Amino acid sequence: MKNTLRRGRVTAACLTLLSVSVLSACGSGDDDKKTEAVEKLGKTEGKVSILAWPGYVEDGSNDPNVDWVTPFEKETGCEVTSKVYGTSDEALNLAKSGEYDVIAASGDLSLRLIASDEAQEINTDLVPNYENVYDFLKNTEWNTVDGKNYGVPHGYGANLLMFNKLNFDTPPTSWGAVFDTAQLERNKGKVTAYDSPIYIADAALYLMKHQPELGIENPYALDQEQLDAAVALLKEQRKYVGEYWSDYLKEIQAFETGNSVVGTTWQVIKNNIKNKDVEVVLPEEGATAWNDTWMMSSQAKHPNCAYKWMDYILSPEANAQATEYFGEAPNSPQACEKTTDPKHCETFHAGDEEYAKQLWFWRTPIKDCLDGRTDVECTDYAQWTEAWTEIKG
């Protein structure tokens, strides 16, 4: 008996040792990460793997008329495989797998990719179309760190307010439709919100305009008190929320059946909804927004095709198609000339720097306040994540 007991203990110890060594072996795969930019391009590898938001890499399988991948494949011989993601958090995890060469990252993802050595510096000389890009999109704080450029701009746009007009007497023009209790009351259980901690910034933006005494200057730079106020607002909203969405197909279905009638959305979602009563608006408070960057993985297995893709998607033709389909502003005046709707760039205020200043592009909240305050410590993304779990309850 004693003997078996001892043997059991030895076995347990061996197993623990084994699992520790397996785990540490898994953790030590950082050696093949290459964060420096390449000097010149080589032969294309014949394929490229892309991680992007839905609607960025369309090869005609969703809509036969929407296809800018096939011309790229024909032109370069790089076969494209792509995967879409629903939240920046999901994308970070996927990017870490090292399966993807190119990643379309919003501002709340790009800095995290750079900080975790997942991004490779870009040699913009190797991306001829980079020249055309609006200057105010270049070398911004979300694609450039320490003077090193980690990505090329794709396009930008706002998180809009989507509503079913049958449920409103007058079309809403304010985010109050999803934050003001009096207005929430009539749509109880049919309100939807984006299922990610970054949505806290939407509440902060509303508070910034409606409760100036909180002193919020930037919705991504919240001290503890300001975060608490935003969380309280979102907890109040939670009572009226029917469901949270991160899967855009789920939101499309919910608005088509009428299970959701008001909530935050992207233009591309509105474009896919067949219900004619559903409309979108950019509320008067402005909006949180995304400004996307094509980045390259430090573990990229097909760097040459990756550069080819970045150059291609920055070309006026491809960029016009992709940004028009997603419903966002293109990245260059040349792309604006190529859109099928001649007013597209006007609608999305492409190149309008003043307008872009109204939009609060997604950033990763960190301890050092992004608005420049030094007398107080801001809340970081981990705290936002914890708060988000608490809000959902």
Partner 1 sequence: MSATSAPHDARPGRSTDPALRGPVDRPGSRLLHRMVWLRLSLLLSAPLAWMVLVYVVALAALLITSLWSVDSLSSEIDRSWTLDNFRTLLENEVYRDVTVRTLAVAAAVTVIDVAIALPIAFYMAKVATPRVRRMLVVAVLTPLWASYLVKVFSWRVVLSEGGLAEWSGLGSPGYGLTAVVITQAYIWLPYVILPIFAALERVPDSLLEAAGDLGAPTGMVLRSIVMPLLIPGIVAGAIFSFSLTMGDYITVNIVGGASQMLGNLVFINAGAANNLPLAAAIAMIPIVVMLVLLTAIRRTGALENM
- CB–CB of 302/101 below 8 Å? yes
Quick one: which of 1, 5, 27, 146 contacts partner 1 (CB under 8 A)? 27
- 143 near partner 1, rule: CB under 8 A: no
Return the number of the residue (129 or 272) whose C-beta is nearest partner 1.
Answer: 272
User: Quick one: which segment of 115-123, 124-132, 135-143, 208-216 binds partner 1 (CB under 8 A)?
Assistant: 115-123
* DSSP code, position 141: T
- 255 near partner 1, rule: CB under 8 A: no
Binding mask 165-204 toward partner 1 (x if CB under 8 A, else -) reads ------------------------x------xx-------
- 13 near partner 1, rule: CB under 8 A: no
Please state the closest distance from residue 237 (CB atom) to partner 1, in A: 10
Please state the closest distance from residue 383 (CB atom) to partner 1, in A: 8
- 33 near partner 1, rule: CB under 8 A: no
Quick one: which of 46, 70, 75, 93 contacts partner 1 (CB under 8 A)? 93
Best CA proximity match to 162, nearest among 52, 272, 66: 272
- 389 near partner 1, rule: CB under 8 A: yes
Axis crossing angle, helix 381-392 with helix 224-238, rounded to the nearest 10: 30
- 381 near partner 1, rule: CB under 8 A: yes
- CB–CB of 293/154 below 8 Å? yes
Contacts of 306 (CB under 8 A, 6+ apart): 48, 101, 102, 296, 297, 300
Compute the CA torsion angle 210, 214, 219, 223 (nearest 10 deg). Answer: -160
Please state the closest distance from residue 254 (CB atom) to partner 1, in A: 8
Compute the CA torsion angle 357, 362, 368, 372 (nearest 10 deg). Answer: 0
β-sheet bridge partners, residue 290? 157
Question: Rounded CA gap, 240 and 238, in Å?
Answer: 5
H helix count then E strand count, the chain: 16, 14
Please state the closest distance from residue 43 (CB atom) to partner 1, in A: 34
Total binding residues toward partner 1, as defined by CB under 8 A = 47
Please state the closest distance from residue 336 (CB atom) to partner 1, in A: 35
Residue ranges of E strands in 124-231: 144-145, 148-149, 151-158, 160-164, 191-194
Structure token pair of residue 382: 């981990």
Quick one: which of 13, 62, 63, 115 contacts partner 1 (CB under 8 A)? 115
- 364 near partner 1, rule: CB under 8 A: yes
- CB–CB of 89/132 below 8 Å? no
Chain contacts with partner 1 (rule: CB under 8 A): 15-16, 18-20, 22-24, 27, 87, 89-90, 92-93, 111-112, 115-117, 189, 196-197, 238, 241-244, 246, 250, 253-254, 257-259, 364, 366, 380-383, 385-386, 388-390, 392-393
